Chains A and B, each alone.
Chain A
Amino acid sequence: DAGITQSPRHKVTETGTPVTLRCHQTENHRYMYWYRQDPGHGLRLIHYSYGVKDTDKGEVSDGYSVSRSKTEDFLLTLESATSSQTSVYFCAISDTDRATNQPQHFGDGTRLSIL
């Protein structure tokens, strides 16, 4: 299995509080991604990174920010959590650009509940 660790694995918090999810990889892959997975919507891209300090928005980026100060860590922050952000969040990595059709390797997710 690819070395991807997501933390925390579960979190319950209240509306309006800030939340940071962490993705840590030991594969030295350049590309990292954050997705959310919801019933009926499948996996949707939030943000991705193509290198240290290089990030870009995905399909559902509103309300989320990311940072990547080191190759191995990609942080996802909800500045002020809302109930609509209750979801399962997955981090993924790949060693080449998506255009080269290489597979992504996923972590086991963070289940986030916002009350």
Chain B
Amino acid sequence: SQKIEQNSEALNIQEGKTATLTCNYTNYSPAYLQWYRQDPGRGPVFLLLIRENEKEKRKERLKVTFDTTLKQSLFHITASQPADSATYLCALTDKLIFGTGTRLQVFP
């Protein structure tokens, strides 16, 4: 069955640094992958979508890469801020599969 893996350990970084989160998937070759942000007590909020032929997608301080050979997507937040602290989920929404999410904590 299809599976998505995200690092379950929290990522703690200092303000101003670049945060990099990883999403690995198995047994599937998605045409695209989505990233969501989830704050405590709230539902996930869509951030970015990347297609298999795009390799890289940017939106303001966010960057997503997609390596279909490695079956991996990387999610980068540059110049991170404490307000970026949240849990970030990757998803294969054509299969309606979400990862467990990685919690990011940005310290001042």
Residue positions of A touching B, CB distance < 8 A: 4, 33, 35, 40-45, 48, 58, 90, 92, 98-99, 101, 103-109
C-alpha spacing A114/B28, complex, angstroms? 36
Query: Do residues A42 and B101 form an inter-chain contact, with CB atoms below 8 A?
Result: yes
Q: Is the Cβ of B93 less than 8 Å from the Cβ of A98?
A: yes
Q: Which of B1-36 contact A (CB under 8 A)?
A: 4, 8, 31-32, 34
Is A105's CB under 8 angstroms from B46's CB? yes
Given contacts A98-B93, A103-B93, contact A42 B99 (CB under 8 A): yes
Can you give 27 A-B contacts (C-beta < 8 A)?
Answer: A4-B43, A33-B96, A35-B98, A40-B100, A41-B100, A42-B89, A42-B100, A44-B98, A45-B96, A48-B96, A90-B44, A98-B93, A98-B95, A98-B96, A99-B94, A101-B32, A101-B49, A101-B51, A103-B49, A103-B93, A104-B44, A105-B46, A106-B45, A108-B41, A108-B43, A109-B42, A109-B43
For the complex, count residues of B whose C-beta is within 8 A of A.
24
With beta carbons under 8 angstroms apart, the residue of A41, A44, A104 that contacts B93 is: A104
Closest to B34 in A: A103
What CA separation (Å) do A104 and B31 show in the bound complex?
17
Known A-B contacts A103-B46, A108-B43; the reply to A58 vs B94 at CB < 8 A is no
In the complex, are the beta carbons of B94 and A101 less than 8 A apart? Answer: yes
Closest to A9 in B: B41
For residue A101, which residues in chain B have a CB less than 8 angstroms away from its CB? 31-32, 34, 49, 51, 93-94
Alpha-carbon distance A92/B96, docked complex (angstroms): 11
B94 neighbours in A (Cβ, 8 Å): 98-99, 101
Please indicate the chain A residues that have their CB under 8 angstroms from the CB of B34 in the complex.
Answer: 101, 103
A92 to B91, CA, bound (A): 14
A105 to chain B minimum Cβ distance, whole angstroms, is: 7
